[in-house]
Amino acid sequence: MSRQDLLEIYRSATPVIAPSMLGCDFGNLHREVELLTAAGAPMLHLDVMDGHFVPNLTYGPVVIRQLRSLTRLPLDAHLMISDPAQYLDEFLDAGCDGITVHVECFSDSRTAMADVLERIQAAGAVAGIAVNPSTPITEIQPLLNHTDQVLIMSVEPGFGGQAFQVESLEKLRQLSETDKIIAIDGGIGPETIGLAYAAGARMFVCGSAIFDAPDYSAALQTLRSAATSVTTVQEAC
Ligand code: DX5
Ligand code: ZN
């Protein structure tokens, strides 16, 4: 799917619920993909961790290539690796439709980050910038022209199942004037998704809220309806 087609889908299908495969049963990956497809998942969010940028290890291009052969769903890779530039071509060749890189990996060179984002777009994929909870939005403002998507981390990256950090809502509000796809990742469930939607997020990465549920279709439906329902911070936290 072309970058423009994918961006159009993301914009028109909001709230976009992106299952984070970190929470899936990797022993039954094919079955998990079938269940998510049948449940109407619009895409898959792939958490790539190197044990260095974050204190956890997951998988890389080899597994993504296999996943690519199982599904036509858009594959959105969230690279939690210290040197995304070095491995970028491998992720693109493996069949990623979108690649998000962390701004914290480029603290000494915005030019290098802009170059990576441009390489992603030139390959026909959606480019994204991810922002850790402790990184202010001012760090990414000069790079917004180079990206399609911004991923606000509402937990410290590395593990699923953590509690939503309510401070991330302010970052979503700070981005409300941009025309970028605004995504949020970490601790998103029926209690928190409405807060994030009201603050401006339109794509929602969900691990536990889907994979801990017995019925993925019902979980996706619950998340979609909760996104546009009014929630207060007191209810959520
Ligand atoms: C955390 C990952 C998330 C994680 C979300 O580093 O980026 O995508 O899987 O899991 P939940 O939804 O359980 O917080
Ligand atoms: Zn993620």
Q: What pLDDT is stored for residue 235 in this prediction?
A: 66
Total structural domains within the chain = 1
Write out the catalytic residue numbers: 47, 185
pLDDT tens across 205-224, in order? Answer: 999 999 999 999 999 999 99
* Residues with Cβ within 8 Å of residue 121, at least 6 apart in sequence: 3, 127, 146, 148
Kindly report the number of other CB atoms within 10 A of residue 138's CB atom.
8
Mutate to test the pocket of ligand 1, among 20, 131, 191 (most ligand atoms within 8 A of CB): 20
Q: What pLDDT is stored for residue 231 in this prediction?
A: 67
- CA distance from start to end of the chain: 38
Taking Cα atoms as reference points, which of 197, 186, 190 lies closest to residue 213? 190
Ligand nearest to the backbone CA of 100:
2
Quote the CA–CA distance of 100 and 185 in Å, as a whole number: 12
Show the DSSP H helices in the chain as ranges: 3-12, 29-39, 61-70, 84-94, 110-122, 168-174, 193-198, 208-211, 216-227, 233-236
β-strands 98-102, 75-80 pairing: parallel
Q: What pLDDT is stored for residue 1 in this prediction?
A: 83
pLDDT tens across 173-188, in order? Answer: 999 999 999 999 999 9
The structure's pTM equals 0.96
Long-range pairs of 89-93 with CB within 8 A, sequence gap ≥ 24: 90/60, 90/61, 91/48, 91/60, 91/61, 91/64, 92/119, 92/120, 92/123, 92/125, 93/61, 93/65
Q: What pLDDT is stored for residue 107 in this prediction?
A: 84
Which residues, judged by CB distance below 6 Å to any ligand atom, belong to the binding site of ligand 1? 20, 22-23, 45, 47, 78, 155, 157-158, 160-162, 185-188, 205-209
Q: What pLDDT is stored for residue 136 in this prediction?
A: 97
Q: What pLDDT is stored for residue 108 in this prediction?
A: 79
Q: What pLDDT is stored for residue 237 in this prediction?
A: 60
* Residues with Cβ within 8 Å of residue 214, at least 6 apart in sequence: none
Task: Write the single-letter amino acid at 147.
Answer: T
Mutate to test the pocket of ligand 1, among 47, 151, 204, 223 (most ligand atoms within 8 A of CB): 47
Atom of ligand 1 nearest to the CA of 23: 9
Domain span including residue 187: 3-236
Give the rounded distance of the alpha carbon of 68 from its chain centre: 17
Angle at 76 between CA 46 and CA 122, to 5 degrees: 135
Report, as an integer, the average pLDDT of 106-127: 95
How remote is the CA of residue 122 from the centroid of ligand 2, in Å? 23
Backbone angles phi and psi of 31, in degrees to 5 = -60, -40
Report, as an integer, the average pLDDT of 145-152: 98
Q: The domain that contains 147 carries what CATH number?
A: 3.20.20.70
